[in-house]
Chain A
Amino acid sequence: MTKQGWTMSRSSTGLLLLAAVLSVVGSGCGSGRVAGPEPDLAAAEKLREVLTAGEVAGETNVVAAATGTGWATLKGRFVFAGTPGDKRPLVVDKDMAVCSKDGLKLYDESLRVDPATKGLADVVLFVRKASRVKNPVSTDPLVFDQKNCEFLAPVFAARVGQPVDVRNSDPIGHNTNISGSSFNQLIPSGEATVYTPNAETGMPVSVTCNIHPWMKAYAVFRKDGYVAVSLVDGSFAIPDLPAGEPLEFQVWHARSAGGLKLDQPALQWSPKGRFQVTLQPDEVKDLGTLEVPAAALGG
């Protein structure tokens, strides 16, 4: 009896152990995904009623049309406060006969500082919302060219509806891929194609070539056309801005993430890279030299 009892309890222990293991395994393993916050279901119900109710008398987001007259110009100059490091060489592994011809080396042009004037090129400024526009959309095409396996303009700006003449001055074919617009077109050597942006970008979008993946540029398209890209010496000018209303400008550089943040309390420069000015009719407002610290272009 004792021997039998002992045998029984050994097998029952074994069974319980097995059951324990099975229940652990059976409960499954977690998925490891970060779950976002839960929605507020009550608020969602109320919001759904609002959305399905048709026209609602409530707060609308309409900004009261500013009543100003006249036009003004804004200008300034960006300088880089710091020493730009050596430019990063690009890896060129296709069509070397053209792209590495005669020892040609290609570099990352996202930070272009003029050694003489310390001017910072390729800074983009645009007006976020303008109530009125002076000039209609120009039908003169803006030329955007590529040669020696790089885009000749690291950053270019155009107005929505303005034709952009995308050219290829290389002896080899390229394709130009403007992200966000689904424009990705083959451009044979020596030929050109016209791209007319039909929607404005928020911030600038990247332009690449899929045949030569190291090629990169940026493009920004705005409806009102109040956009400028700083030149080699860092200077910019935006003419024909509507006077008499507060204009909020967004500033961007390829090396700054989400807006170029400068320390300019006089202009109330926001952390999102924005500042506001109100211009008088026929005023030419010179913002002067705007210093861009190296830290702002660290990202």
Chain B
Amino acid sequence: MPALAEEKPALRHLSSIDGGLVLSVLLLSAIGLATVHSASSEMSVDYLPRQALWFGVGVVLLIAAMSVDYHVLLDFSIVLYGVSLVLLVLVLVAGIAHGGAAHWARIGPWQFQPSEFAKLATILVLARYLSGLNRRMLDLPQILASVAIVAVPMVLVLVEPDLGSAMMFAPILAGMLLVAGVRLRVLLIAALAALVLGAGMWSFGMKGYQRQRVLTFLSPETDPLGAGYQVRQSKIAVGSGEMTGKGYMQGTQSQLRFLPVRHTDFILSVLAEEWGFLGVLTVFSLYALYVASAARIAMRARDRAGILLVTGLLSVLCFHVLYNSSMVVGFVPITGIPLPFLSYGGSFTMVNFVGTGTMLGVDLRRYVNR
């Protein structure tokens, strides 16, 4: 073929932006802003203006991430990964110096969680590594190398100690290995191994309060003031919402301060109480739309790197959604895992928008020759 093939600049393809993905993000964000406002109406601070600011920043970051060729990101991935590891170590050292858990890094007046940044960097590095392997099924050394890439930042976050954020690295590995080509049998064995490892963690690696949280999950009545109290109040909020909810800003559980951190980790409880089962279904449908759109983007990406990148980003996001929603109905122990696009939070919101922007960037470049 003559080289007449369309080598158009990426922006010409703006009309081919994935509508499903954008629509689900915008609707989820709108629902999130409204619910954050309701959740914080009885607090001394209304978090709506700040979350609106994060949303605005997020949109800008989304466009920026979309505009950058993801191959450039992959080229720089090792640098980003190195920087994120250094940041994690710095936070760790600062935390030791302060004699307690410190997950925040500070640049001037800005604070952010390096673990959020590390997740993105890890996905990029892993995508780059796995896309360079030209095999249908990975062999053991390659799998072990992948594990190592993820394990280093994961362990650093774990010893901070931030169990919730550390858990986020597992789905990156699982999702990307699955798509890169690992026998399902291997993944199942790995899952079993993770369970055994979890048991080991329980015995040797966990802090007292973390163990207490797991225990309370198993029998909520033992710690009425701790996690058990939260699970119970959350279930009352969710359950009393019934089919259609109590109405916006009318949730007695949420408004009367029974729910802790209701603008972040328990935002879904507030929504479930005020909008009922129908509200929950709406949100779940939007997440399903997001997942389907992202999967479509992955499948039509022009190269293996693109597929893997989208898969990694999607895996983390899905895990957040699945874990957080399971948590508020008491299926899994409470740990600080917020809900994408709905929960209040600066770093978290930005990371989700950057991730979505990167997916759209992959999609825009599906026809472009490099």
Q: Are the chains A and B members of one assembly? A: no
Residues on A close to B: CB < 8 A?
none
